[in-house]
Structures are given as C-alpha cells and as structure tokens.
A and B are shown apart, each in its own frame.
Chain A
Amino acid sequence: MQVRSGALRMPHQKLQNADLAQLLKRIAAGDKQAFALFYNALEKPVYRFIASKMNDPHESADIQHDVFMEIWHVAGRFEGRSTVKTWVFGIAYRKTMDHFRKHKRVDLTDEVEERVDDSPDAVACLAASQEGAHLKQCLGELKPQMRSAVELAFFEDLTYPEIAEIAGVPEGTIKTRVYHAKKLLLRCLSARMQGTQA
C-alpha cells in the first residue's frame, strides 16, 4: 500500500514551548506547514494519552483527529497563560472525557471505595511494578480521570498544577486523585503479585 503526502512529510521533531507557541501563531494565520510541524511534535504523546484510556485504536484515532482539527480552528485563542503542551492536553482530556460521557458507562466521579486493607505490601508492589502486564492491568482498573492524572505525571512528567489545568480542576483535586490512584495501584499490584506467588 502506498499513500504519499508529499511535502507534508516531516521528520519527528522535539520542539520547545516557545517554538510550539510560535507555530500556533502561524497556524492561526492558516499556515498548514506550521500545522504539520506542530502535529509531528505532539501527535505521539497526544495519541498515547487518548489511546491508553480508550483501548480502541480506531476510536483513539478519531479523537486525536478531532483534537488536532480543534487546534487548527482555535490556535488563535492560545494566550500563553500555560504551556502549549498543557493547552493541547487540555483539549485532548476534554474530548476523551466527552467521549466517555457519551459512549461508555464509566463512573467519572471522584468517589473512591473505602477499604479496610489500606497498606499494601510495598515490596510486592515493587516486584509487581516491574511486570509490564501487571502494571497495565492495574492502570486499566483506575477511573479515567485518575488514570489521566497518573499518566500525565508519569508519561509527560507534568507538575500537579499543570495536570490540574489540563483537567480543569483545583490542584487539591489532582493531589487527591493521584493519592487514591497510587493506593489503588499499589493495592492491585500487591494482590496480583500475591496471586502469582500463591
């Protein structure tokens, strides 16, 4: 199969925030080459962020498409009050959560079931966290908004104020989400490790 996009083909580039902001200005003026550069710089992390929650490459591709179409349309609204990456992930977060609300029966509240056993075996967790399959399974059991917070922290190395801005919630909410996510993750990993050993 051959599909060529000719001049649109660009090498993957790692651009700094100032470069991305400059590209957004050009995109706002209708510069498609700038849009291509911008896409190449951010499409992989954006796709990973979406796909990790969707578990469906087709739906993920559609949402990613919508994210970048929105960027094309609203690039001129970026005011530089956050980093470009935070702004873009904010759009991706909103579209992903909208998709969950419309198409999937998922609990998007911050409520967490209280459990008596609150101190998982950290040594077992450490061992289990080295097993990619365990980790993936346990991440998959988190609510989407908790999983987003953990992924933005671990994949993108973002600060909690940045994650709060992306999710559109107070910083304290993000701290609480990652706190509960950490507990659930460690508990899940510990249980899986003990199950393996049993």
Chain B
Amino acid sequence: MSQISDMSGEEAERLLIFLANDTLAGEERAAVEAAVEADDRLAAELAALRTMRHKLQDEEASHSPGEFGLARLMRDIDAETTMAVTHVGGKRSGASSFWKIAAVVLLGLFSAQSAFVYLKGEQDGTDVQLASGDPAVSTERPTLRLDFDPDATVSEIASLLLETELTIVDGPSAIGFYTLEALDEAGYAQALEILQSRPDLVDIVE
C-alpha cells in the first residue's frame, strides 16, 4: 500500500471504501481519517458505506450447492481418475449425469425459476430417492425414460427441463436412466419433440 501523509481529497475519496471495511492501516488510514474529519460530505458518505457493508453482510444469504456440490466434484474427480486409468471407450456411465440432475433438483428448491421440479413421494408416504432405490412414484401420467449426456451442464439440463415441463419421478437406474413424467399426452408429445431435437443433451429411450 502507498504511504501518503498529505493526501488529496480525491485520493481520500478513492480509499473511502477501504476505511469503511477497516482494511487501511498506518499513515494511509490516518490521512483518510483526517480528510473525512475535515469534510462533512466525505463523513456522510463514509457513514452510508459502512451501513451498506453491514446491510450486505447481514442480508446476503448464500444458497450455495454445499454438500451436494462437493458430491458432484467428487464424482467428477473419481470419473477423471477412472478414465485416466482405464481409457474406457464410448460413453461414460450415467453417474456423472446423476449429480448434475440432482444439482438441478436441489437448486430448484431455492430457485423460483425451477420451482416446477417437485417430487411426489410424500403423497404415498414414501421418500423419493434419486439415488438408485425403489421407485417411489407410481403414476398414470405419460412417462418417458432418458439418459442425459455426461457432458451436459447443470444449466443446460435445467433449461431443458424448464422448457419441456417434465418432472423427474425416478432415477437413475443402474444404467443411468431417468424417468420423467408429463402432465398429459399433449405435454408428453411436446416434450418428446423438444427432447428429440437435443441429441447433444439427451438419449431418449422410450
């Protein structure tokens, strides 16, 4: 940091935010404090900046991916390690996609944008599991099964699900397939058309 004993008003103003966050020290701090003391406008701005800082630190709740993001990272790291060791040709398993889909579902919990992603397991008193477990939902609505491309990103999958208005009701299976439900036959047909137009993201099974 520069040490300035006789600081100009403009230089003091340039450093005002750093007085507000309490990171200035030594002569530099003393010079900015002196400039603030001599100028009511700077003093008022400093008060506003300090209020802003407190307000932001108090209010900004971070809905981060948390443990789920870590699990996704570990899956990708494991997948990299496996690929590096075995050099298996062809497509990877659906495991990587699982974490991406699960991330979409988790993020949907706090995102109004993807609020349509809901799981109906509670209706019959059964916990729905995305991990390979018992299918939790029995439905008479039209369903389809698909596998997401392992290179598809979370945002690409989320956008696609929003567009198709499908709901994940089960998956992944042992080979990585998901079961998705449409509201009705018309929705099914429309979703199928959209999904078939994105072979880069999905492989439709049925």
Question: Is A bound to B?
Answer: yes
| Interface residues in chain A, defined as those with a beta carbon under 8 Å from any beta carbon in chain B | 1-5, 8-9, 32, 35-36, 39-40, 43-48, 51-52, 56-59, 61-62, 64-65, 68-69, 72, 119, 122-123, 125-126, 129-130, 132, 135, 139, 150-151, 153-155, 157-161, 171, 175-176, 178-179, 181-182, 185-186, 189
Q: Is the CB of A58 within 8 A of B45?
A: no
Distance A121 CA – B103 CA, assembled complex (angstroms) = 45
Contacts of A32 in B (CB 8 A): 74, 77
A139 CB, min distance to chain B CBs, angstroms: 8
Tell me the complex Cα distance, A112–B59, Å.
Answer: 28
Bound Cα distance from A158 to B119, whole angstroms: 42
* Chain B, interface residues (CB within 8 Å), range: 35 or more
Query: Could you tell me if A186 and B72 are in contact, using CB atoms closer than 8 angstroms?
Result: no
Q: Separation in Å of the B136 CB from the closest CB of chain A?
A: 9
**Assembled-state Cα–Cα distance A40/B74 (Å):** 13
Contact partner of A36 (CB less than 8 A), chosen from B23, B62, B70, B158, is B70
B109 → chain A, closest Cβ, in Å? 9
Is A1 in contact with B105, judged by CB distance below 8 angstroms?
A: yes
Q: B45 → chain A, closest Cβ, in Å?
A: 5
Secondary structure call for the B interface: helix
A189 touches B48 (CB 8 A): yes
Chain A residues with CB under 8 A of B129 = 1-2
Question: What is the chain A residue whose CB lies nearest that of B153?
Answer: A62
Which residues of A have CB within 8 Å of B107?
57-58, 61
Q: Could you say which of B53, B64, B69 has the most chain A C-beta atoms within 10 Å of its C-beta?
A: B64
A-B pairs with lowest CB-CB distance, top 3? A122-B44, A47-B64, A58-B155
Q: Are A153 and B51 in contact (CB under 8 A)?
A: no
Smallest beta-carbon distance B101→chain A, Å: 11
| Sample (21) of A-B pairs whose CB atoms are under 8 Å apart | A1-B106, A3-B68, A3-B71, A3-B106, A3-B130, A4-B131, A5-B67, A5-B70, A32-B77, A36-B70, A48-B60, A61-B107, A65-B65, A69-B77, A125-B45, A129-B48, A129-B49, A135-B52, A153-B21, A175-B14, A178-B14
Known A43-B65, A59-B155, A154-B53: A161·B1 in contact at CB below 8 Å:
yes
